[in-house]
Structure 1
């Protein structure tokens, strides 16, 4: 009898131990499953264009919870949510909350811009003895690829990757020969990669079957406060450049490269935007703020750190790395309060700034500028990184 009780007690203990182990295994399995799903991509339907093309949204999420949203219409970055010093998550780029707004006239929020970012004087350029005429969509000039540039087309999803250290989506677009006046069938891809170090890589590639010109960038507007109703004038900016590209009243380069020394264009040491933008310098008056290309230092080194922005109240820091020779720094001078913001407000003047890594504007008409010519058999490749962090 005593032995039977002991056996019954032992059996009960054994059952309890087995249940505990099973429970532990179940918890561990859930934990492992959760851990594996942290670095991931979510995909959803975003809308249908007026031309009946379906648009998809990809949400890239890293282990720290930072996420980036990209839509196939215009290859646009619509959201970058990252934490401030207190861990509060905010969207630090300007954008809309509907496809219909992106289809209307807008200042290229978050777009992949091409075939040629920035301005081409008089909408014309010569290449191999032939003159090409482009649409004039910025006064007498061609701007950001013309009337229907890469920002207004639906890109094809070529590849989606999920790994333990990064997630990425690769978009592709074929720009046909003489589209918007540019020669050659240009096959372009843009790959957005979110890494676990809170950096967003944007990698561009292009090939052509006829000699053409190419100059691509991303046109995100940043406001590190996370609130687009705030001005960017309380941001500190640093740009590693000894020279910049002066422009005429049409914002076309004069052909010279000017020293930043003793000018408000000297951002080699960090400057508070609100202090320098008030300067009555002729170049600032022309653009009603900064809308100029800086000649980035150390271009021979290729991919390197070129600029930083810091917002002291939130503690957010944005670092830019690129292999490009130039960067257009634009302070939202033409935002005028007419476009609706997702929070119910509007996008006012200076509610965002752009760091547009690129070749110099109007380079096809400026023989002293680095060439933007792409020939058959060669591949256009360039990489830019936006890296986010915080500091006190």
Structure 2
């Protein structure tokens, strides 16, 4: 129990990457790579006992090389700005900033060399048996990816009981957009089998509306009674979802955002966050026969993402809450993934 580490190879640019394992007294294990601040594994006791059957509830790969080639942000820390930015540009204080266009004309998840493509530094290790933790740090330089300001970021991963907490903190020397999220793909069946039998509850009846490129149009609508309504436990079924849900979180406190459950495994996942919303993505864009862990092949609906974050494209939508971090301010994003037996 505690924290262990090993070398996991080098990037194509020759930078060494470390793989850390956090293991606590509740029998949980989390594996985190310094490449992309990536959660590569999360093992939870299925029967609630330390010595019982374990289930790895996040999708991923066996090697660093596969993560380096991945285009689906498997388990990665995403930034500077998660989600899409229309026309890969924005104006701030009267100046226009041009970003990477990595999804057609638009900017997605921080661009071609976002946080998920960086090798993070090890800032601190908390080697406690009950609450092992790992803090990684990253310096994102002025105009990296087109973003203004030298940005200092820390990501802290902590295992406590059968929960994983991730806290992102950041400061900048210039005003800059910042909207970080964690991007694990969960599957409570294990082995990347289709998630159609999962049930989901999202604590929201409001969503942003968007165009064919999934760019928000600035409107927020009621979705009660539609196929996007998960206010009560509803099977994920086969409906594609890639949608931002608005949370009632005016004080930015840690509140329940969503609960997913799977009767087959008997596991339930509660996602709590201090962010203003969550993006639900049901992995319909994963290609058939994509390689995954342990020789398993992934495909559409092999997992689901619940991405806590601020409003997408807020830099171009003044009607949305701002995602601008200014000098002297401290960015603080906290999310907990809480696992338990279905009661």
State whether TM-score is above 0.5.
Answer: yes
Q: Identify the residue that residue 165 of structure 2 maps to in structure 1.
A: 201
Q: Distance in 1 between matches of 2:296 and 2:225?
A: 38
Gaps of 5+ in 1: 1-37, 279-288
41-50 or 121-130, which deviates more: 41-50
Query: SS of the residue aligned with 2:328?
Result: coil
Structure richer in strand, relative to its length:
2
How many residues of Structure 1 are paired with residues of Structure 2 in the alignment?
Answer: 340
Deviations 1:26-70 (A, max 9, x none): xxxxxxxxxxxx3x1111111111111111111010112110000
Instruction: Tell me: CA distance 1:301–1:131, structure 2 relative to 1, closer, same or farther (3 Å).
Output: closer
Q: 1:385 — aligned with what?
A: 336
Q: Distance between the aligned counterparts of 1:292 and 1:227, measured in 2? A: 25
User: Retained in 2: the 8 A contact 1:239–1:267?
Assistant: yes
Pairing of 1:1-392 with structure 2 (within 5 A): 38=1, 40-85=2-47, 87-195=52-160, 197-228=161-192, 230-274=193-237, 277-278=238-239, 289-300=240-251, 302-391=253-342
- Do the aligned residues in 1 keep the contact of 2:87 with 2:107 (CA within 8 Å)? yes
Alpha-carbon distance between aligned partners in 2 of 1:186 and 1:372, rounded to the nearest angstrom: 14
The runs of at least 4 consecutive aligned structure 1 residues that moved more than 4 Å come to none
* Further displaced range: 156-165 or 134-143: 156-165
**Does the aligned pair in 1 maintain the 2:261–2:267 contact within 8 Å?**
yes
Secondary structure of residue in 1 paired with 2:66 = helix
Is the 1:244–1:295 contact (alpha carbons within 8 Å) kept by the matching residues of 2? yes
The residue matched to 2:334 in structure 1 has which SS?
Answer: strand
Determine helix, strand or coil for the equivalent of 1:256. Answer: strand
Change over 3 Å in CA distance of 1:338–1:133 after alignment to 2: farther
Q: CA deviation at 1:105?
A: 3.4
Distance of 1:131 and 1:349 partners within structure 2: 37
> Matches of 1:349 and 1:263 in 2, distance apart?
22
5+ long unaligned stretches in structure 2: none
CA distance in 1, matches of 2:9, 2:129: 30
- Any conservation in 2 of the 1:233–1:273 contact (CA below 8 Å)? yes
Kept in 2, the 8 Å contact 1:95–1:341? The answer is yes
Deviations 1:157-182 (A, max 9, x none): 00001235311100000000000000
Q: Is the contact made by 2:275 and 2:333 (CA closer than 8 Å) also made in structure 1? A: yes
The structure where helix makes up a greater share of residues is: 1
CA distance in 1, matches of 2:329, 2:36: 25
